[in-house]
Amino acid sequence: MIEALLSVLPTREAPTDADDADSHGEADDGDEGRDGGEAARDTDRVSVDYDPAEADGTETVPEIPEIHQTVVTPSSIEPEPNAVRTGDQWARTLWTGEYPDRPRDGLFETLYSTAATRRTDISLHLTPRDTTATLDTLENTIEDLEADREYLEEKRKAGARGVAKDLEDYQALYDALRNTSMSAFDVSMYLAVQGDSPDDLNADGVTNTARQSPTNLTPVTPRWTQLDAFVSASPVGVDKLNESLDTTTPMLAGAVGAMFPFVAGAFAEPGIEYGTYALNESPLILDRFERETGYCAMVIGQLGAGKSFSTKLQLLRRAMYDQDTVIIMLDPLGGFAGVNGALGGERITVGGTRGLNPLELRATPADVLQDVPDLDPWAEQLSWVLTFFETFFEHVAANPLGDRKQTLRRAVQEAYERQGITKDPSTHDNESPTVRDVIAVLEDLLDSPEQFGYATDGEQEKVRGDAQTLLTDLRPSFREDGDLANLAQRTSFDLDSSVLYLDLHQEEGATGRSETSLMMQVLFNAVYERAKGTDKRVVFAIDEAHYLLNDATSLEFLETAVRHSRHYDLSLQFITQTGGEFALTPEAKTIADLCSLTLIHRVQEETDTLAEWFGLSEREVNWVRTAKAGDEEEGFSEALLGIDEEGWFPLRVRASEFEVDQIDPADG
Ligand SMILES: Nc1ncnc2c1ncn2[C@@H]1O[C@H](COP(=O)(O)OP(=O)(O)O)[C@@H](O)[C@H]1O
Ligand SMILES: [Mg+2]
């Protein structure tokens, strides 16, 4: 029914009064004054063509039923042998000739939710049967079958076995009706496949889906009676085809019950809509901060699948749902400007000369330290700083850290100690050292390793050698005019605004993948450190997170951050692309496993990997493979949402006109 209902509801392409009223309702939450102004302007635009002076007395204002008729019916209906044309659309209606013997609960789920039936109306006509009359008919049928069987058995015909089987079925039906409170129905079922042209009608796809297990239906296309079939499938509610053909099949109530989609529970709790459940279009509403296993989310999908859009929609809805949530966005491609503007956020363009200190450490709140005894902020910080350097040496200096790691670790520890920072959490409020301080320590190490406790000649020689090459690699990038000079300075921006957009937009386009990875790491850490300090809930969305997740060196650090994020009321959302140059990495899997929400948009190339990673069923894999990529024209995308401890839900993600305007402003 859904498609048919949608087609009569006002759409974005053809705005009507009702549509306007809708978007005003939503705007009400935000800006009252502006809304009032628009309403006034709307009235100015209204004009009426009817001029009483020119009326000749035959014209009348349409009656309400006539107006309704124009809303619910197509402008014209033309029957063809195999289809019906309704205005701009085409429909081919299939009738269900046969049903499975033993219907399983939810046997139509695939039929309701696969891509092939996306534009198919499914209609069931159910007429209760009078039990006594049905029993009489069944008695007659059973007697006939018994006679047939006796005759065939006497003649030793093979057909006797088939008849015996039918007889058993009818007897079982008879017993169930007679001895239990079970009632029977006459059922007919239609599938109206819609399309924009006769070629666009995917009747074969729908037929195949209907034939497959567990649905096991046999659909038939009634030729030359398409109009009657179409009426039977329409919301009019009349089984028109049944008047000329017997279209019904008797069924017990249990079988009828199994056909309904509502047996599968949708998910709804106070929160925001993540999409509508594809099985029955009911909204899937949830609050990420209510998940027991953590608040992090992973969004996966190929280029253009709708990942960024659905994330922005979630952020917008989150902000409307709870204005206290701090929202932070990180994106190397500049894509969050619209939603950031709509939320009145601060935009910080990262790069250039603005200081950003990778060594920065922030104090962990006392209550968190108390609640989580095994938390070790010092070890975490050291691990992060070494990750940062490892990435730098590997990708920027192109000389992996290797066995120089211990020497560097010693130098880093010393740099913190010189600022009075140690393992003791109460020292973490002190001003953090910078890469320049580490360079100063390395110079001292080179001069006099013995003062750092390296006792033997061998040790001293090794440490001198390490310090020498470390300095050679570090200095060019971190000197005053070096390419990473901004990373050698104190951080010169706060992340105090309640909405913040870290725009890692690479203006010249000259910045390579490894620099982007490094900057993403540093920014990730900076936000993470700050999220620790605030009492508020923080949603931190990281777009193009494959730059973070394609690098094994950062895995340990990211893993720890994700594991501990819950203690800081921090929800990390990683958006990662698959396909093309970005293969799904083992790092992405490790992080996804730690996330309580996984949203998989359209993926074609690597569905087998996803199936294996997440234990997806064939049906779920198929949904992902055929999911609709984001599309402004169609106004929705499709995805599969995995909620920890709840299961997987096929979704359609749809934004209201108001929301679309906020996410992707036309002037943006
Ligand atoms: N649910 C949706 N409704 C309307 N338009 C959408 C939807 N999802 C995506 N789009 C549009 O499709 C295009 C690609 O979506 P995007 O989110 O940028 O893809 P991805 O981030 O996966 O590469 C964008 O122009 C976006 O506006
Ligand atoms: Mg994107």
The DSSP secondary structure of 527-570, one letter per residue, reads: HHHHHHH-SS-EEEEETTTHHHHT-GGGHHHHHHHHHHHGGGTE
| Residue 103: cis peptide before it, omega within 30 degrees of 0 | no
Most confident of 19-23, 57-61, 649-653: 649-653
The three-state secondary structure class of 11 is coil
Pick from 525, 527, 523, 526: nearest CA to 538: 527
Q: What is the pLDDT of residue 107?
A: 86
The number of angstroms, rounded, from the C-alpha of 607 to the middle of its chain's C-alpha atoms is: 16
Same domain, 542 and 565: yes
For ligand 1, say whether the CB of 653 is within 6 Å of any of its atoms. Answer: yes
**Residue after which a domain boundary falls, among 25, 49, 70:** 70
Tokens representing 194 are 């819609």
Q: Are strands 346-349 and 499-503 parallel, antiparallel or unpaired?
A: parallel
Ligand with minimal distance to 339 CA: 1
Flag whether 91 is in a domain.
yes
Closest atom, ligand 1, to C-alpha of 313: 1
Query: How many whole angstroms from 575 Cα to the centroid of ligand 2?
Result: 8
Same domain, 395 and 379: yes
Contact 611, 648 (CB under 8 A): no
Query: How many whole angstroms from 595 Cα to the centroid of ligand 1?
Result: 23
When pLDDT is cut at 50, 70 and 90, the band that residue 416 belongs to is: very high
Residues 6+ away with beta carbon under 8 Å from 247: 95, 188, 232, 239, 241
Does the structure show a pLDDT above 80 at 34? no
> How many domains is the chain partitioned into structurally?
4
Query: How many whole angstroms from 333 Cα to the centroid of ligand 2?
Result: 8
Contact 240, 233 (CB under 8 A): no
For ligand 1, say whether the CB of 243 is within 6 Å of any of its atoms. Answer: no
For ligand 1, say whether the CB of 103 is within 6 Å of any of its atoms. Answer: no
Q: What is the pLDDT of residue 20?
A: 41
Tokens representing 507 are 């203006």
Crossing angle between the packed helical segments 555-565 and 513-533, to the nearest 10 degrees:
30
Flag whether 165 is in a domain.
no
Amino acid at residue number 347: R
Mutational test site, ligand 1, from 307, 574, 631, max ligand atoms within 8 Å of CB: 631
Whole-angstrom CA distances from 105 to 112, 253, 255, 260 are 14, 12, 8, 8
How many CA atoms lie less than 13 Å away from 516 in the CB half-sphere?
24
Core vs surface per residue 190-207: b (16+ CB within 10 A) or e: bbbbbbeeeeebbbebbb
For ligand 1, say whether the CB of 507 is within 6 Å of any of its atoms. Answer: no
**Residue after which a domain boundary falls, among 26, 46, 70:** 70
Full domain range(s) for residue 50: 2-70
- State the DSSP code for 171: H
Flag whether 288 is in a domain.
no
Does the structure show a pLDDT above 60 at 15? no
Looking up residue 584, the CATH number of its domain turns out to be 3.40.50.300
Cβ–Cβ contacts within 10 Å for residue 310, how many? 25
Q: What is the pLDDT of residue 491?
A: 86
Contact 9, 635 (CB under 8 A): no
Same domain, 552 and 532: yes
Query: What gap in Å lies between CA 401 and CA 389, rounded to an integer?
Result: 8
Tokens representing 485 are 């000079």
Flag whether 658 is in a domain.
yes
Mutational test site, ligand 1, from 12, 310, 637, max ligand atoms within 8 Å of CB: 637
Which position has the higher pLDDT, 37 or 41? 41
For ligand 1, say whether the CB of 307 is within 6 Å of any of its atoms. Answer: yes
Does the structure show a pLDDT above 50 at 191? yes
Which position has the higher pLDDT, 116 or 207? 207
Tokens representing 23 are 């978007």
**Residue with the nearest Cα to atom 13 of ligand 1?**
630
Flag whether 290 is in a domain.
no
Q: Mind listing the pLDDT tens digit for each residue in 210-225?
A: 999 889 999 999 999 9
CA angle 611, 613, 619 (to 5 degrees): 20
The number of angstroms, rounded, from the C-alpha of 176 to the middle of its chain's C-alpha atoms is: 45
Q: Mind listing the pLDDT tens digit for each residue in 472-488?
A: 999 999 999 888 998 99
The three-state secondary structure class of 187 is strand
Q: What is the pLDDT of residue 432?
A: 96
When pLDDT is cut at 50, 70 and 90, the band that residue 160 belongs to is: confident
Closest atom, ligand 1, to C-alpha of 634: 4
* Average pLDDT value for residue range 490-519: 76
* Average pLDDT value for residue range 620-625: 93
Query: What gap in Å lies between CA 363 and CA 429, rounded to an integer?
Result: 5
Query: How many whole angstroms from 509 Cα to the centroid of ligand 2?
Result: 17
When pLDDT is cut at 50, 70 and 90, the band that residue 46 belongs to is: low
**Residue after which a domain boundary falls, among 22, 43, 70:** 70
Same domain, 49 and 82: no
Q: What is the pLDDT of residue 35?
A: 43
Same domain, 510 and 553: yes
**Residue with the nearest Cα to atom 8 of ligand 1?**
630
Does the structure show a pLDDT above 90 at 548? no
Cβ–Cβ contacts within 10 Å for residue 352, how many? 8
Most confident of 260-264, 267-271, 573-577: 573-577
Crossing angle between the packed helical segments 377-391 and 405-418, to the nearest 10 degrees:
130
Same domain, 13 and 49: yes
Query: How many whole angstroms from 599 Cα to the centroid of ligand 1?
Result: 14
Amino acid at residue number 349: T
Same domain, 196 and 332: no
Mutational test site, ligand 1, from 274, 302, 309, 656, max ligand atoms within 8 Å of CB: 309
Flag whether 530 is in a domain.
yes
Residues 6+ away with beta carbon under 8 Å from 577: 301, 302, 303, 307, 544, 546
Same domain, 488 and 535: no
Q: What is the pLDDT of residue 50?
A: 64
Same domain, 192 and 242: yes
Same domain, 624 and 525: yes
Query: What gap in Å lies between CA 455 and CA 5, rounded to an integer?
Result: 82
Closest atom, ligand 1, to C-alpha of 309: 17
Same domain, 514 and 585: yes
For ligand 1, say whether the CB of 306 is within 6 Å of any of its atoms. Answer: yes
Q: Are strands 184-195 and 89-98 parallel, antiparallel or unpaired?
A: antiparallel
Does the structure show a pLDDT above 90 at 471? yes
Q: Which residue has the tokens 């966005």?
A: 329
Query: How many whole angstroms from 602 Cα to the centroid of ligand 1?
Result: 11
User: pLDDT exceeding 70 applies to what percent of the chain?
Assistant: 88
How many CA atoms lie less than 13 Å away from 117 in the CB half-sphere?
27
Q: For 303-377, list the strands marked E by DSSP.
A: 326-331, 346-349
Whole-angstrom CA distances from 433 to 354, 391, 420, 437 are 17, 19, 10, 6
SS (H, E, C) 254-306: HHHHHCCHHHCCCCECCCEEEEEECCCCCEEEECHHHCCCCCCEEEEEECCCC
Q: What is the pLDDT of residue 49?
A: 65
Which position has the higher pLDDT, 331 or 599? 599
* Average pLDDT value for residue range 6-30: 38
For ligand 1, say whether the CB of 655 is within 6 Å of any of its atoms. Answer: yes
Query: What gap in Å lies between CA 72 and CA 91, rounded to an integer?
Result: 16
Flag whether 593 is in a domain.
yes
Amino acid at residue number 297: A
Closest atom, ligand 1, to C-alpha of 302: 22
For ligand 1, say whether the CB of 338 is within 6 Å of any of its atoms. Answer: no
Query: What gap in Å lies between CA 654 and CA 637, rounded to an integer?
Result: 7
CA angle 297, 301, 307 (to 5 degrees): 65
Query: What gap in Å lies between CA 624 and CA 632, rounded to an integer?
Result: 19
Contact 290, 537 (CB under 8 A): no
* Average pLDDT value for residue range 373-377: 88
Averaged pLDDT of the chain: 86
The three-state secondary structure class of 123 is strand
Query: How many whole angstroms from 633 Cα to the centroid of ligand 1?
Result: 10
Q: What is the pLDDT of residue 55?
A: 63
Flag whether 206 is in a domain.
yes
The edge-to-edge listing of strands for the beta sheet with 597-600 is 283-286, 272-277, 647-653, 637-643, 597-600, 297-302, 570-578, 538-542, 326-331, 499-503, 346-349
Query: What gap in Å lies between CA 661 and CA 293, rounded to an integer?
Result: 34
Closest atom, ligand 1, to C-alpha of 311: 17
Same domain, 551 and 404: no
Mark the residues whose beta carbon lies below 5 A from ion ligand 2.
Answer: 308
Tokens representing 602 are 């359209």
Q: What is the pLDDT of residue 493?
A: 72
Does the structure show a pLDDT above 70 at 135? yes
**Residue with the nearest Cα to atom 20 of ligand 1?**
304
Closest atom, ligand 1, to C-alpha of 543: 21
When pLDDT is cut at 50, 70 and 90, the band that residue 62 belongs to is: confident
For ligand 1, say whether the CB of 309 is within 6 Å of any of its atoms. Answer: yes
